[in-house]
């Protein structure tokens, strides 16, 4: 049989040219797309030269060591180029097929037994090259992934720090704004009462009083926004403290509804409540429940131009109870229903925003409900009203503050 090693060395350039062409056309090897000829064939000539030496009759362990080194180099290059393991294996399988095709005429010069031994030797040599190359590839990728993991940890720590700093800054700013704003509201209230007293017998309302009323209204609106921002910031940073105690649910609902009744005096809307099936008491934080209910009912009134707003409380089975706030108002589209609990989200364009809306009410409600171990859901039809339903366990263990 002809010297296969010598025959391979004589055909190295031709084999490389065929191999590069097939690899670049192989759609399953995505990593080589857009790579230059040099980038694709990088390291292969040395691998083939080492394989040729191992196929010569004068084979030695030194030459096998050379092949391992060249295969390691090839695996390192492929790892740096972003190839995955399947692509590296596919490259070597393509190379195996090309080698057998190009050496077919030389294999025919020997006996069948000699040809079989030569083919097995080629298979063994390339299998070893694949294994060594893959080992290097895996090690290289593990090092790269380790660096990426470390960088991600640092990035996550920095993002956490920035988010916390942002929350602290927002909270600090809100606190700083509250003091002068409270003063503005107090002085405006005093001034308004004085003017109302002085002009009680005057039929025409002076411009000064209208301006004071606007100052007071805008100040109260800004104060609500600041309080909502603070509430959201506290809930996100888990600084809220719960006071879990038996709460008379029907009485609390009645007090909230009665407190909000004046807000419907200027439009054809009825406000009612039904606690016939409500639990007499529930273990819950009364202040947080009042906040939840006030926000939900206020929202229902705000977006209902005519019709009704109803609050119903009832038990669900043996261990749950619920409050449903329904209205005949504007309703929500399916798209908006998935976004209404996001901070500062409001339906419509800025021209449609109601002046008393901050976009934080439902965000606070959602966080409060979760904090109390409950769930909230909404059913709505655009133009056909909405139903907001919160469900709580009858007995709630107080979570850590």
Q: How many domains, in total, are found in the chain?
A: 3
**Burial class of 129 by CB neighbour count within 10 A (0 to 12, 13 to 18, 19+):** buried
Q: What confidence score (pLDDT) does residue 351 get?
A: 47
Distance CA 223, CA 175 (A): 11
Lowest mean pLDDT among 119-128, 320-329, 331-340, 349-358: 349-358
Instruction: Say whether pLDDT at 303 is over 70.
Output: yes
One domain for residues 200 and 173: yes
Q: If you average pLDDT over each of 83-97, 106-120, 260-274, which comes out highest?
A: 260-274
Residue-wise burial string across 56-85, b where 16 or more C-beta atoms lie within 10 A, e elsewhere:
eeeeeeebeebbbebbbbbbbbbbeeebeb
One domain for residues 49 and 97: yes
Instruction: Count CB-CB contacts under 10 A for residue 109.
Output: 13
Q: What confidence score (pLDDT) does residue 389 get?
A: 96
Query: Beta strand pairing status for 269-277 and 307-316?
Result: parallel
Q: What is the pLDDT of residues 310-345, one digit of tens each?
A: 999 999 988 899 999 999 998 888 888 888 888 767
One domain for residues 321 and 270: yes
The last residue of one of the domains, among 102, 128, 155, is 155
Q: What confidence score (pLDDT) does residue 200 get?
A: 63
One domain for residues 21 and 151: yes
Q: What confidence score (pLDDT) does residue 74 get?
A: 59
Quick check: is 294 in a domain? Answer: yes
In contact, 242 and 272? CB cutoff 8 Å = no
The last residue of one of the domains, among 155, 184, 204, is 155
Q: What is the pLDDT of residues 365-381, one digit of tens each?
A: 888 898 899 999 999 99
Quick check: is 401 in a domain? Answer: no
| % helix, strand, coil for the chain, step of 5 | 60, 10, 25
> Could you give the angle at the alpha carbon of 241 between the alpha carbons of 298 and 321, nearest 5°?
55
Place 234 in a pLDDT band, splitting at 50, 70 and 90: low
Q: If you average pLDDT over each of 16-25, 110-119, 312-321, which comes out highest?
A: 312-321
Instruction: Say whether pLDDT at 355 is over 60.
Output: no
Q: What confidence score (pLDDT) does residue 353 get?
A: 44
Distance CA 275, CA 315 (A): 10
Lowest mean pLDDT among 97-106, 172-181, 190-199, 303-312: 172-181
In contact, 3 and 56? CB cutoff 8 Å = yes
Mean of the pLDDT values across residues 61-90?
61
Distance CA 370, CA 270 (A): 30
DSSP 6: H
Q: What is the pLDDT of residues 80-96, one digit of tens each?
A: 666 667 777 777 788 88
- At 317 the three-state DSSP class reads coil
What integer best gives the mean pLDDT of the chain?
75
In contact, 260 and 294? CB cutoff 8 Å = yes
Quick check: is 160 in a domain? Answer: no
Q: What confidence score (pLDDT) does residue 374 get?
A: 94
Q: What confidence score (pLDDT) does residue 400 get?
A: 43
Lowest mean pLDDT among 108-112, 272-276, 316-320: 108-112
CATH classification at residue 325: 3.30.565.10
Place 45 in a pLDDT band, splitting at 50, 70 and 90: low
Residues 6 or more apart in contact with residue 3 via CB below 8 angstroms? 55, 56, 57
The last residue of one of the domains, among 179, 204, 236, is 236
Compute the residue count for the chain.
401
One domain for residues 80 and 108: yes
Rg from Cα positions in the chain? 38
- Provide the residue range defining the domain that includes 212: 167-236
One domain for residues 97 and 47: yes
Mean of the pLDDT values across residues 58-71?
53
Place 16 in a pLDDT band, splitting at 50, 70 and 90: confident
Strand partners, 312: 274, 324
In contact, 122 and 96? CB cutoff 8 Å = yes
Place 393 in a pLDDT band, splitting at 50, 70 and 90: very high
One domain for residues 257 and 380: yes
Q: What confidence score (pLDDT) does residue 61 get?
A: 47
Q: What confidence score (pLDDT) does residue 295 get?
A: 87
Place 52 in a pLDDT band, splitting at 50, 70 and 90: confident
The DSSP-derived string for 36-57 is -HHHHHTTHHHHHHHHHHHTSS
Q: What is the pLDDT of residues 134-185, one digit of tens each?
A: 777 677 777 777 777 777 777 667 666 655 655 555 655 665 565 566 666 6
Comparing 272 with 203, which gets the higher pLDDT?
272
Instruction: Say whether pLDDT at 7 is over 60.
Output: yes
One domain for residues 230 and 249: no
Q: What confidence score (pLDDT) does residue 392 get?
A: 95
Instruction: Say whether pLDDT at 352 is over 50.
Output: no
Residues 6 or more apart in contact with residue 350 via CB below 8 angstroms? none
What's the predicted TM-score (pTM) here? 0.47
Instruction: Say whether pLDDT at 242 is over 90.
Output: no
Comparing 116 with 54, which gets the higher pLDDT?
116
Lowest mean pLDDT among 17-21, 56-60, 89-93: 56-60
Quick check: is 214 in a domain? Answer: yes
In contact, 292 and 369? CB cutoff 8 Å = yes
Q: Report H helices in 103-206.
A: 104-107, 112-198
């Amino acid at each position: 049989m002809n010297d296969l090693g010598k025959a391979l060395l004589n055909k190295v350039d031709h084999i490389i040219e065929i191999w590069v062409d097939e690899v670049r056309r192989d759609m399953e090897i995505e990593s080589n797309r857009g790579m230059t000829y040099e980038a694709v064939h990088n390291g292969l000539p040395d691998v083939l030269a080492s394989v040729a030496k191992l196929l010569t009759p004068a084979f030695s362990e030194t030459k096998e060591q050379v092949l391992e080194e060249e295969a390691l180099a090839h695996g390192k290059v492929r790892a740096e180029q972003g190839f995955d393991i399947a692509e590296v294996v596919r490259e070597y399988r393509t190379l195996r097929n090309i080698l057998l095709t190009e050496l077919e005429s030389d294999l025919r010069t020997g006996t069948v037994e000699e040809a079989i031994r030569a083919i097995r030797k080629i298979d063994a040599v390339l299998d070893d090259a694949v294994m060594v190359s893959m080992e290097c590839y895996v090690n290289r990728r593990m090092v790269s992934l380790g660096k990426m993991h470390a960088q991600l940890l640092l990035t996550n720590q920095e993002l956490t720090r920035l988010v916390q700093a942002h929350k602290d800054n927002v909270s600090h700013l809100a606190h700083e704004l509250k003091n002068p704003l409270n003063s503005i509201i107090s002085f405006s209230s005093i001034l308004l009462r004085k003017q109302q007293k002085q002009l009680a017998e005057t039929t025409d309302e002076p411009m000064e009083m209208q301006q004071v009323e606007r100052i007071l209204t805008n100040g109260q609106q800004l104060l609500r926004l600041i309080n909502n921002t603070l509430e959201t910031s506290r809930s996100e940073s888990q600084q809220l403290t719960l006071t879990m105690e038996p709460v008379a649910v029907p009485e609390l609902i009645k007090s909230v509804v009665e407190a909000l009744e004046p807000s419907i005096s200027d439009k054809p809307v009825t406000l009612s409540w039904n606690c016939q099936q409500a639990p007499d008491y529930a273990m819950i934080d009364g202040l947080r429940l009042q906040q939840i209910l006030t926000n939900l009912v206020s929202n229902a009134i705000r977006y209902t131009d005519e019709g009704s707003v109803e609050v119903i409380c009832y038990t669900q089975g043996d261990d749950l109870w619920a409050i449903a706030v329904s209205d005949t108002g504007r309703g929500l589209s399916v798209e908006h229903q998935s976004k209404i609990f996001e901070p500062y989200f409001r339906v419509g364009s800025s021209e449609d925003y109601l002046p008393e809306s901050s976009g934080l009410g439902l965000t606070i409600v959602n966080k409060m409900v979760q904090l109390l171990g409950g769930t909230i859901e909404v059913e709505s039809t655009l133009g056909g009203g909405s139903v907001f339903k919160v469900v709580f366990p009858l007995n709630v263990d107080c979570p850590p503050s």
